[in-house]
Amino acid sequence: MCGITGILNLTEPNIISVDVISKMSGHLNHRGPNESGLYIDDWIGIAQTRLSIIDLTGGTQPIHNEDKTLWIVFNGEIYNYIELKNSLIKLGHKFYTNTDTEIILHLYEEKQENCLHMLNGQFAFTIWDSINRKIFIARDRVGKKPLYYTVCGDQFIFASEIKAIFANNKVKRELDAKGIDQVFTFWTTLPGRTSFKDIKELPAGSYLSITGNNVIVKQYWDFDFALPNELTNCNSDEITSYSKELLLDSIGIRLRADVPVGCYLSGGLDSSGITTFVKNNFNNQLNTFGIRFEDVDFDEGQYQKEMVSKLHVEHKEILATNKNIGELVPEVIWHTEIPLLRLSPVPLYMLSELVNQSGFRVVLTGEGADEIFGGYNIFRETLIRSFWAKYPNSTMRPRLLDKLYPYIFKDKRSKATLNSFFKIGIDQPATPFFSHLIRWNNTARIKRFFSENITSSTQDYDTLLELKDNLPEKFNKWDALSKAQYLEMKIFMSDYLLSSQGDRVAMAHSLEIRMPYLDYRLIEFMGKVPSYLKIRGLNEKFILKKIYKDVLPQSILNRPKHPYRAPIKNSLLNKNLQYVDYYLSDEKLKSYNLFNHSMVKILKDKLTKSENSSEFDNMALVGILTTQILNDRFIENFDAHMIKPSIFDIIFDRRSTTHYDYHSKKQNYS
Amino acid sequence: MDYIKELKEFVINNFMFGQGDSLENDTDFFDKGIIDSTGTLELVSFIEEKYNISVLDNELIKENLSSLTKVDEYIKKKLASESDNH
């Protein structure tokens, strides 16, 4: 688990500065504090900062093949590396390390881009083929590990995080109005785009290759759902049994590490299940980590305590107070590299620090269960609204919504207004975005705060059309739940949950998170399970609950769903945080020219004065504030925070002329 | 009495954050995304407090609350019926 970066000359060999690469690599030190390395020749420089997890002493990167013609820098883990290694040895490949990294290289020699279908893991890597002058870059299927790139003049520049690309002074830094527009609709950018102009994301499940002028970006994997004739014939017991087998294997291979592995434990079904399976089947001396909230409305402590006492695990927790959530927002934005509309990533940032300080580099988490097993309220909402859409004037059908939101619907007034909210678009059940459109439109109302400058840059731009154009061919043939699952996984999960709320806030404190529910075998299998078995009636995660029915207490199996969230208004506006006033001041709003300053002033006053604040106003506050922070940290004052360049532990210098332009801790190889 | 002026000021300040150029008396709050479900409750609280009326649950419908004109008519109707009852 690491950071990777590099520069490729596109048209002719030219001097690549080690100083520049070490500065870029230095911006990834938090991702890999243990060691760093560089390969450089006349065409390319690739560097890696390493968080050592497998083969702690022998796995220094870059790693090469037998004749040193292929070189790799790698961020991630390949969980099935032991099995792959055995088959490669049989084919005659020689290994000089015990790492999973070296497996990829030899598998690439055998299969080229088809190697990606054989890898089970989370990864982003770059292979340099020095003979054919070809660069090959790939990301894992669902986008657990990040990869960004840009073309600047004659050079192709890439990195695990955008800040490393910006550390190259040649790269222009500018916010992308279209990217920001997308964030204020989907909570994230769509695959391929970022918040910054001309900085691209390599989409999840894709690879990029460059040979000469030939640039290829291709998707090799996507979420898929079975059409009626492709569904599994298994009954619910058989499905439960097979998916349990897959889940146990998925957990087992994710415990492969030369360092101890812990678990996040929130007290919800998903993480309680994983923790129980680890404890019962693999590791009796288990350490777990959880978040507690000062604000009781957000706290799940009672369920965590119950699981801890049941399992006898060694549990540690952080207390997320409104004060420290508020204070940490600017640091978190430095890591997310994208504006936020909620503050949920902040407590996770605090938690990864606790895990790091406790001596752990790896934890398993419950991420992905809601998406693949059908757990979110938006899925049940979609089923109810589809049912309602058949008789839009029915007064009985919308009453099913009471079951989803019993606390809100207890209040008759809220019920009447919420019913009208869910009725929007009920006459168009066939529209591709039936499940998500009311929420996206609600978020997009915040765009009214945009300055004229931003509005005019996006006035002819239709972000929904861009999304529609990129949907898979089969999409319109899927049922309502499958469509909703696809949109949720493709956009919100891949580019928000796994990034802002996943990799970024974990790697900020050098912590690798591993997600057993997101093993591609489990995703592919659940894609073949009929929707009515994923959500039985309105019983969400029906199969997952069956998997856990004998090992989890009823109180966890049947507990009301508690979305993980963090308080906004009380974290940002009640503690007189100086930075909030600074970024929302007339002066800063006018000078950045991203938002209408007088509207923001009214919003802030409204939130400060009112006791109860609406979801919309809270979301607007976070969105505006974090965009201001992003603009400050990445555009206006990028170099204000001194970050030490990497001093590489190892350098493979294959340039045709000698350049004495670096310092290395150890030996240099040529 | 015409309540539209006060209502307009409230809607512009509270939901449009001061930018009310596009708000006409017949602009539909919901179609135009000016007010969402929680916003409706804010609007109701405002008229209850300001005009001392009680909005019944079955009156929380589009016909009463979806534009300045409709809210104005609704308030007049409520005040008239409340004074009839006294």
Q: A355-374: b or e for each residue (b if 16 or more CB lie within 10 Å)?
A: bbeeebbbbbbbbbbbbbbb
The CATH architecture assigned to B4-85 reads Orthogonal Bundle (1.10)
**Which residue in A422, A614, A621, A624 has the most chain B C-beta atoms within 10 A of its own C-beta, making it the best mutation to test that interface?**
A614
Give me the pLDDT at residue A51, please.
Answer: 82
Kindly identify which residue of chain B lies nearest to residue A600, measuring between CA atoms.
Answer: B17
Among B38, B43, B55, B64, the residue to mutate for chain A (most A Cβ within 10 A): B38
Interior angle at CA A275, CA A269 and CA A280, nearest 5: 120
**Which residues of chain A lie closer than 8 angstroms to B38, CB-CB?**
417, 614-616
φ/ψ of A485, rounded to 5, equals -65, -40
Question: How many angstroms separate the Cα of A173 from the Cα of each of A19, A152, A490?
Answer: 20, 11, 27
CA torsion angle A7 A11 A14 A20 (round to 10)? -20
Classify A492 as helix, strand or coil.
Answer: helix
Contacts 24+ apart (CB under 8 A), B9-17: B10/B43, B10/B46, B11/B35, B11/B43, B11/B68, B13/A602, B13/A606, B14/A606, B14/B39, B14/B42, B14/B46, B15/B39, B15/B42, B16/A448, B17/A448, B17/A449, B17/A596, B17/A598, B17/A599, B17/A600, B17/A602, B17/A603, B17/A606
* Chain pair A-B, CB pairs under 8 angstroms: 57
Between chains, do A413 and B60 touch, taking CB under 8 Å as contact? yes
CA distance A73 to A4: 6
Amino acid at A277: F
State which amino acid sits at residue A82.
Answer: I
Reported ipTM exceeds the 0.85 cut = no
Question: Could you give the CA distance from residue A652 to residue A669 in angstroms, rounded to a whole number?
Answer: 5
Closest chain A residue by Cα to residue B37: A417
Amino acid symbol at B78: K
Chain Cα centroid distance, residue A665? 33
Q: H-type helices in B1-86, by residue range?
A: 4-15, 37-51, 62-65, 68-85
Do the Cβ atoms of A420 and B14 come within 8 Å?
A: no
CA atoms of A305 and A309, how far apart (whole Å): 6
Helix (H) or strand (E) holding A121: strand A121-129
Phi-psi group of A8: left, alpha or beta (phi > 0 → left; psi -120 to 50 → alpha; rest → beta): beta
Chain B residues touching residue A421 (CB < 8 angstroms): 36-37
In this structure, what are the phi and psi dihedrals at residue B54, rounded to the nearest 5 degrees?
Answer: -115, 120
Contacts of B58 (CB under 8 A, 6+ apart): A416
Amino acid at A601: K
Tell me the CATH number for domain A228-372+485-557. 3.40.50.620
Per-residue confidence (pLDDT) for residue A213, from 0 to 100: 79
Query: For A82, which DSSP code?
Result: H
Classify the C-alpha dihedral A302-A303-A305-A309 as positive or negative.
Answer: positive
Please give the structure tokens belonging to residue A125.
């890597």
User: Does the bond joining A62 to the residue before it have cis omega, within 30 degrees of 0?
Assistant: yes
Instruction: Going from the first residue of chain A to its last (670 residues), give the mean pLDDT of each consecutive group of 10, the final group possibly shorter.
Output: 93 92 95 92 95 78 94 96 95 93 96 98 98 97 98 96 97 97 97 98 98 92 96 96 98 93 96 97 92 93 96 97 96 98 97 97 96 94 89 83 73 73 81 92 94 93 93 96 97 97 96 97 98 93 97 93 88 87 97 97 93 89 98 93 89 81 56
| Residue A611, phi then psi, degrees to nearest 5 | -75, -45
Query: B17 contacts in A (CB within 8 Å)?
Result: 448-449, 596, 598-600, 602-603, 606
pLDDT number for residue A658:
64
φ, ψ of residue A62 in degrees (nearest 5): -65, 150
Dihedral angle sign, alpha carbons of residues A235, A476, A217, A498: negative
Q: How far is B74 from chain A (nearest CA, A)?
A: 17
Rg (CA), chain A: 25
Q: Cβ B17–A600 below 8 Å, yes or no?
A: yes
Q: Which among B19, B42, B60 is the nearest to A599, CB-wise?
A: B19
**Cβ separation of B38 and A614 shorter than 8 Å?**
yes
Task: Report whether A145 contacts A3 (CB < 8 A).
Answer: no
Which bin fits A247, alpha (ψ -120 to 50), beta or left (φ > 0)? alpha
Q: Within 13 A of A302's CA, how many CA atoms are on the CB side?
A: 7
Q: Which amino acid is at A220?
A: Y
Name the closest residue on chain A to residue B13, using Cα atoms: A602
Q: What digits encode the pLDDT tens for the residues B13-55?
A: 999 999 998 999 999 998 888 988 778 888 998 999 999 999 8
Q: Which CATH number fits domain A2-223+648-669: 3.60.20.10, 2.60.120.260, 3.90.226.10, 3.40.50.150?
A: 3.60.20.10
Domain range annotation of chain A: 2-223+648-669, 228-372+485-557, 377-478, 569-637
Q: What is the pLDDT of residue A560?
A: 82
